[in-house]
Every structure is written in structure tokens, then in C-alpha cells.
Amino acid sequence: MKREIAAFLDYLARTRSSSRNTVAAYQNDLNQLTDFMVSEQAKGLLSSHEELLLAYLVHLKGKGYSPATSARKVASARTFFKYLVETGKLKENPLRNLVSPHVNKKAPHVLSQTEYLQLLAVPQSLSTPEARRDVVMLEVLYATGLRASEVVSLQLSDLDLDHSTLSCRQGDARRRVHLTPEVCRLVEDYLANGRLDLLYDERETAVFLNRRGHQLTRQGFWQIVKNYAIRAGLGDRVTPHTLRHSFAVRKVQSGTDLRALQHALGHAYISSTRVYKQPVSKMT
């Protein structure tokens, strides 16, 4: 089956233009499935695909995987076997009647536009270099839905402001993200002024710097957002991920296609993106 998996992964990359992150996730799940099936077939107790896949579900549960992780692994297998049917390598999908583990996905907490402006007003009211940096970081995050780790990892070479885009990375995967004209102007001004107030070493290439002139950490950014949220009267549950959720919900409400949103968010699986179709939970 490894040859079929290799062909499937190539199909994902070439035909469906899936990101390297998505392809790697499928590869990991399917290799795990293959190893299990080979091991079980060697025992001679199970013969059909259906029996093996039912045993695989039990195996996942026994390994202590969460329902969400188990459901994702089943979804990977389902998509793979569907591909085998479509390419004529199987007559029917052995997972057609298999019920995936039930996942109770919590509605994401989001900020309304008013609450976001309330949050943003805190650093806007301050005149320190860190506060000016934080305004830009919040605006970039709210306008793009990047992960906190992707924001703090941005390098000068990742920015293409002439074309209103930036390139971000999550692991080995990279994707290009569009910036609004307003955010582009904010970033340009920050690079020309605010960043220089924090820069000590001309060789530093990180976009967002801490007070010592080094790349800001993910943990530092989380604490910054939480502190501003508390000062804004929004409580202590607001994090950079809240702004990522807020971006995604706004996009869904404006009619953005889920596949386009999946790419924008850098999700490996569309199931991770579908959570934004359900009712959201407001912070207040």
C-alpha cells in the first residue's frame, strides 16, 4: 500500500495544490495506518479491509488519542480510500459505513469589532516603542488570522509590501497572505520608525523585536495581548488565538469559501476550518 500512498500524496501536492503541511499530515496518518494493517495481517486474525479498519479505530482509542485526533486520522484514511476508488484501484471504499469518533467541538471565542477596537485602544494610548510595535502586531493578526508563532517568526525577507503580501511559515509549510492597504501602511511606518527604536544590532532580521532588540517570543506576545485585554476590561481569556478566531469568523460571515479560508489559516484539514461555521461564543 505504500506505493499507493506515495501516488496519493503526489496527487495532493500536484493536482490539489495542497500545502506541504497538509501532505505531511496525511503521510503521517497513512503511514501509521499502514503499519497497523501490516502488523494485524501478519497475525492472520483479520482479513478484510473493513475488519482491519474497525480494529484500527479500537487501536487509536487504546493509544489514548483524543476523539478529535482519532476523527482526523479516520478522515485521512477515508480520503485516501476514496482516491483509490476514483482511480480504479479499489471497487468500493471500505470506510463507507464506518462512523468516525464523535467530536464535541467548542464554539470559538471571538471579539466583536467594538471589542477589538477597545483592545487596540490600549496600546494606541501609549507612546512607548513597544506599544507602537504592539499596535502593528495586533492589526496584522486581526487582518490576517496568522498564528501567534507565525507573527513573531516574521522576518524582513518575508515581507513584500510592494505587492501587499507576506510569506509565513509553520514548520516546513509556507504560504502567502494578502495584506490590506491600511495594514501595509502601518507595517511600512513601523519598519521606517518604530522598529528602529527597538533595534540594537543591524544584523537582526526579525520584524517584531523585544526591548532587547531580539525577536519577540510567542509566549511574550501571548502575555502582551492578555495584559492589554485585562486593561481594556475584556477579561483574561483573550489571547492571540482569539484574534485568529475573530478573523476566521468574519471571513465566514462575509461569504468566504471554506477552502479559501483553510488556505488562509494554514489548516492541514478542512475539518479544522468547519468549526467556524457553527455559532460563535462572544467574550462578554
Q: Can you say whether the dihedral through the CA atoms of 125, 126, 127, 129 is positive or negative?
A: negative
Which pLDDT value is given to residue 165? 94
CB 172 within 8 A of CB 161: no
Q: What is the pLDDT of residue 30?
A: 87
CA distances from 65 to 30, 40, 44, 60, 125 (A): 16, 19, 26, 6, 46
**Kindly report the CA angle at 221 between 194 and 208, in degrees rounded to 5?**
30
Those residues of the chain that have pLDDT short of 50 are none
Position 75 scores a pLDDT of 81
Q: 3-class SS at 47?
A: coil
The residue written with cell numbers 471500505 in the block is 94
Closest-CA residue to 38 (of 22, 23, 49):
49
Domain range annotation of the chain: 2-86, 109-282
Place of cell 507573527: 151
* Rounded Cα gap, residues 208 and 221, in angstroms: 10
CA distance 232 to 2: 54
What cell was used for 269? 484539514
pLDDT, position 219: 92
Which pLDDT does position 280 carry in this prediction?
A: 59
Paired residues of 110 in beta bridges: 282
- Looking at residue 38, its pLDDT comes to 80
pLDDT tens across 148-198, in order? 999 999 999 999 999 999 998 765 567 889 999 999 999 999 999 999 999
Pairing of strands 281-282, 109-110: parallel
pLDDT at 37: 77
109-282 is a CATH 1.10.443.10 domain: yes
Per-residue pLDDT at 144: 94
Pick the closest to residue 73 from 4, 18, 26 (CA basis): 26
Helix residue ranges per DSSP H, the chain: 2-14, 20-43, 49-62, 67-86, 113-124, 129-144, 148-152, 181-189, 218-231, 240-253, 258-265, 270-273
What does the pLDDT read at residue 185? 96
Long-range contacts of 172-179 (CB under 8 A, 24+ apart): 172/20, 172/21, 172/24, 173/19, 173/20, 173/21, 173/22, 173/24, 173/266, 174/19, 174/20, 175/19, 175/263, 175/266, 177/144, 177/146, 177/264, 178/144, 179/140, 179/143, 179/144
